[in-house]
Structure 1
């Protein structure tokens, strides 16, 4: 019997056309041609067999391998020939089985249900029944597994497509740390595509950096986070509903004007957006828009239209806060850059009541911001990442802003820093980080000055105000003075870069300058504390700084008070950072501390006079500048109760206080 597709025993033309078996007993004609009276011919050539996809490449590789085999492998030719002969003989039987399965309705295939849905079983390859050749071909797999290749997965470089990890629509990236269970050095050996991706069913590994250590992001599909969000009772309301509610509170046209005010008055200090992806009422997340509106509302009087439209309306802070919470909380399960930006805006937003410091709330927000920032890899330097330049610059500016906020919030609230320098790379800015902004030279200089003064503040917090440093200062009176001297010496370089253009940003720069100087000297000019052994701990030592600690403190506080005197009441367009109210209070209580630690009645009277001058200046300006009201309230409360009733005073200090109040 000759099969119609056999190459060694070709069927006749008639049987081939009918695709039937050609049976020849001894010589042609075959049985079918003899019964039908047809001429049994063998003129037509057999059509080429269709190769499954990928087989040509395999055959080509095998041919190449044979052509390049070494002489030692020549002995395998006979074995290869035997295998070829055996496979050729099996070939005919395979054709019969295929015909029964796919062509014969009454064959073996009639008893098999080949419509089984295996889409939910990713471990099952795309196979034909009985493991035919199709099961062994190279077929596309939407969920590849890690390959055993020895080389590292490629990171997109050169002309490779740039990745947009901060603008993904179908996933949220989170950085994979160096101590993670998924070792980044092992992940770097994954067979990533030219964009640095390696895809699984619900997850993707994305490589963005290879040197000096690999950096990858784990990107999760939204469906993977939905269940976790549901279990945490953080179900998100439909975005359309939230946008309708936001539109009812702040119309899109009003929102655009508020965003313009934000760009003019707040963004020069906090450049957390890019011109490539600026907030837009029609597309930005609801929580981001609501937070930006809340920060910009106090400046609505400087807009020609909003000053009239909102003249009789109270800023809708409560409604905006509600929308922020409804929109932000579910997104914290899979944060993006937008969530980090929103938390920054919530942290810098001035509160409706300027007489409340809101220290617990600010501390909690800073903790959430630090956690989200690290999840997004903002503690890393993205300069060498293969992402668009504007994203690199935006990430670095946002990292810098978060770093600065951590230091200033910690100092002003008396809290430990949450970000450590050995785990946070971007602590300053350079010229390339200006990309994607339209900041003026003056505004950029302000940011550079902020970078320098924040570095000094961080050093002071670490070396003078950390718990371990405070223990050393208590045990050893010679510990702090050298540190204070070196920190004050660093101000000689910073003072030369202090902005002098008398613009609104200069006010904030000068305030930060005076505050950090005051904070440093205050560490060695504190009232004494008597221990059980009779020792005095934390005692102010006038001999600490060349025998003139008191003189240096007086010079610094006088400069600070003079700065407050020179603040103009028309400086209301200034956006005051969240640490400013407690900074004013720090000045007042430092002066009060100097009164208590005075060594003579005359010295106490001089310090008390300076304190009273400060109170008068604050009282004159507090009505217009609400940022001054918290410090004034706290120091006034001491005088309201009476200094003698609140503080334990030395006799000469008590006399000076009584004489001062009697005038």
Structure 2
């Protein structure tokens, strides 16, 4: 690779240009491995090993003499604007917003990054490469799935010798056709990137992104694969590193920017970066979003990866971008079963992981924003994930303090997919326009029909938790490792509350006092468990990667408290729930000192629940709730703390097979066996004494846990 080695300097200050005739000292010239790789050799002030040798765990030596070569001037891509002035993006700014470009020449800027041209065609690469025969990551072509109603007639395509057509058309730069299986006519159109809208901006955009973090690109990539990737494995590590070792110009611009952006959240977790000046995040975000809009019309798998990672930013959860990704994924054929396709094995696994990542983003986005889902069961043929779909294993894990466990991340990703499938069923059963209209038309029947629909979903949730391996329990934390299992458990509470939120909303005066009491007590039990979970979070959880829906899921707990408050049957209970919300806000405020995203959760909680509740006096709650939800008819129908404590002694009139009986079963009926639920006995819906077992080392109650009864 052709670049000028420069001294290690802070990211927002350009290095001095050294005279070409000056003899470089041993500490300034590249090491032997970097010289052989033709890679940039970055050495910290403390001395060798360099970043790449440390990354590859090899000896960093300076024994070989440099090979004589002709020096050439750094060239700017033909047809591009000068790097220093590309669309006003490239002047670097420090964290105080001060530009450094005024006193810097384009030659000095270009010297900070590599200038090697990207590979034209991976098929022409010498030696082994994972990228040969790839479908979705071609460097200069993008692919689109040929649908059954497209302008191409499938029966006609079945008669054409596609390989020979591809050989001819590829010579003249026309679109080519590629058949990827032998049984079904699954065909893609591969079109050249050249000549498409904004395609000439890719190299300038990549250079701008690389310069925004230079000279720390390699360290940030390592940080990303240490902390983020194990918990959200939507990249292929070896493919990414293979491309970066050649040049940063092989990437999709927003993908490179997204990797850098997420890694910057853990800047202090790198011994190489902690004492350096951090790059300007806002500047990099602007480059990422602008470059994403430049490539969205010529999608590749890297486009999907970029969008998914951008959605994981602290403030990146955007429904419009989620909808775009669903459409782009359909363009790429990610909704199809790729098991028997003629593509590399690693790409089959990558396509499946990306497909399920889009599925999760769509369903959780639908929950967060209250919007219709765009992924439907009738157009979804992706097979379940298996261990073979994940290329990394424990041997690829980084031993440095603060890293994330690879094996745990793989299992957690699969369990999150399964949990999202349950969420999808709940959303389609209770929260679509048709479902809400159907339940509204049956209000005279009371909540019983809704409970019948909820029962199998609650049982599925119970079984999901019962099957969870011990490695995903909250207490399982390896020494000096971060653990992202918190977002999985939080997601579980969110799904539970989404189900019970619908039930509590549907209670009305037409429902008997016993049904109302059991339903409310089941909801109170979920709330108690959620409190115990939030209180159990440790720094190893809070400092790790959290999935994009996590901020909302923390807020949802507060929304659930406000629902129980507004439907309180009397003033005593409403006062208790107001106090519970204050207590929850305090817990989140304390935890936010260890996790920035909880600051946003706290702000959202104040906007959506706390402020609105404070505007309504407690005295008004029972009367207003009686209008559409709970009614208080004398002391007999009161279902606050007293009703909850006496529920075990009551008989359920409709038999043990009724949905009401299911919700109200007590622990004395021995629902729980050796299936892992003994420490999470919220399915009893009555006895809350064991709720803390899953979060306490010895099963004792957590200190300061509020009483929800």
How far apart are residue 449 of structure 1 and its match? Answer: 1.2
How far apart are residue 365 of structure 1 and its match? Answer: 0.7
1:330 paired residue among 294, 313, 337: 294
How far apart are residue 237 of structure 1 and its match? Answer: 2.4
1:339 paired residue among 275, 298, 303: 303
How far apart are residue 598 of structure 1 and its match? Answer: 1.8
Residues 191 and 576 from structure 1, CA distance in 2 versus in 1: closer, same or farther, beyond 3 angstroms?
same
Residue 261 (structure 1) aligned with residue 228 (structure 2): no
Secondary structure, aligned partner of 1:193: helix
1:577 paired residue among 533, 547, 553: 547
Residue 420 (structure 1) aligned with residue 376 (structure 2): yes
How far apart are residue 197 of structure 1 and its match? Answer: 7.3
* Contact preservation (8 Å) 1:586, 1:631: no
* Contact preservation (8 Å) 1:208, 1:216: yes
Q: How do 1:547-562 residues align onto structure 2 when only pairs under 5 Å count?
A: 548-562=518-532
Moved over 4 A (4+): 194-201, 436-439, 539-545, 637-642, 651-656
* Contact preservation (8 Å) 1:585, 1:634: yes
**Matches of 1:405 and 1:270 in 2, distance apart?**
12
**Matches of 2:585 and 2:352 in 1, distance apart?**
41
Higher Cα radius of gyration: 1
**Matches of 2:148 and 2:523 in 1, distance apart?**
46
Tell me what 2:179 maps to: 207
Residues 593 and 642 from structure 1, CA distance in 2 versus in 1: closer, same or farther, beyond 3 angstroms?
closer
How far apart are residue 289 of structure 1 and its match? Answer: 1.0
How far apart are residue 221 of structure 1 and its match? Answer: 2.9
Residue 454 (structure 1) aligned with residue 432 (structure 2): no
* Contact preservation (8 Å) 1:409, 1:579: yes
How far apart are residue 179 of structure 1 and its match? Answer: 1.9
Residues 541 and 191 from structure 1, CA distance in 2 versus in 1: closer, same or farther, beyond 3 angstroms?
farther
Tell me what 1:430 maps to: 386
How far apart are residue 464 of structure 1 and its match? Answer: 1.1
Cα RMSD of the aligned pairs, angstroms, is 3.2
1:391 paired residue among 344, 347, 358: 347
**Matches of 1:570 and 1:376 in 2, distance apart?**
37
* Contact preservation (8 Å) 1:393, 1:436: no
Tell me what 1:445 maps to: 411
Residues 575 and 204 from structure 1, CA distance in 2 versus in 1: closer, same or farther, beyond 3 angstroms?
same
Tell me what 1:472 maps to: 438
2:312 paired residue among 348, 351, 354: 348
How far apart are residue 610 of structure 1 and its match? Answer: 2.9
Report how many aligned residue pairs link the two structures.
468
Residue 178 (structure 1) aligned with residue 148 (structure 2): yes
Tell me what 1:50 maps to: none
Secondary structure, aligned partner of 1:479: helix
Residue 293 (structure 1) aligned with residue 260 (structure 2): yes
**Matches of 2:341 and 2:320 in 1, distance apart?**
31
Secondary structure, aligned partner of 2:229: coil
Measured against aligned partners, the alpha-carbon deviations of 1:558-607 in whole angstroms (never above 9, x if no partner) come to 00011011112453431111211111111111111111112234433443
Secondary structure, aligned partner of 2:275: helix
Measured against aligned partners, the alpha-carbon deviations of 1:197-238 in whole angstroms (never above 9, x if no partner) come to 784861211111243x32100112335x53xx2xxxx46326
Secondary structure, aligned partner of 1:174: strand
**Matches of 1:640 and 1:332 in 2, distance apart?**
40
1:278 paired residue among 220, 240, 248: 240
Residues 398 and 601 from structure 1, CA distance in 2 versus in 1: closer, same or farther, beyond 3 angstroms?
same
Residues 409 and 326 from structure 1, CA distance in 2 versus in 1: closer, same or farther, beyond 3 angstroms?
closer
Q: How do 1:178-197 residues align onto structure 2 when only pairs under 5 Å count?
A: 178-193=148-163
Q: How do 1:125-140 residues align onto structure 2 when only pairs under 5 Å count?
A: none
* Contact preservation (8 Å) 1:175, 1:217: yes
* Contact preservation (8 Å) 2:312, 2:548: yes
* Contact preservation (8 Å) 1:379, 1:424: yes
**Matches of 1:652 and 1:175 in 2, distance apart?**
54
How far apart are residue 634 of structure 1 and its match? Answer: 3.9
After TM superposition, the score normalised by the length of structure 1 is 0.65
Tell me what 1:618 maps to: 588
Secondary structure, aligned partner of 1:309: coil
Tell me what 1:502 maps to: 476
**Matches of 1:346 and 1:505 in 2, distance apart?**
18
Tell me what 1:146 maps to: none
Q: How do 1:217-228 residues align onto structure 2 when only pairs under 5 Å count?
A: 217-223=188-194, 225-226=195-196
**Matches of 1:238 and 1:491 in 2, distance apart?**
46
* Contact preservation (8 Å) 1:591, 1:610: yes
Q: Which runs of 5+ in 2 are unaligned?
A: 1-130, 398-405, 478-482, 627-631, 633-637, 639-709
Q: Which runs of 5+ in 1 are unaligned?
A: 1-160, 352-357, 529-535, 657-663
* Contact preservation (8 Å) 1:596, 1:653: yes
* Contact preservation (8 Å) 1:596, 1:604: yes
**Matches of 1:215 and 1:526 in 2, distance apart?**
46
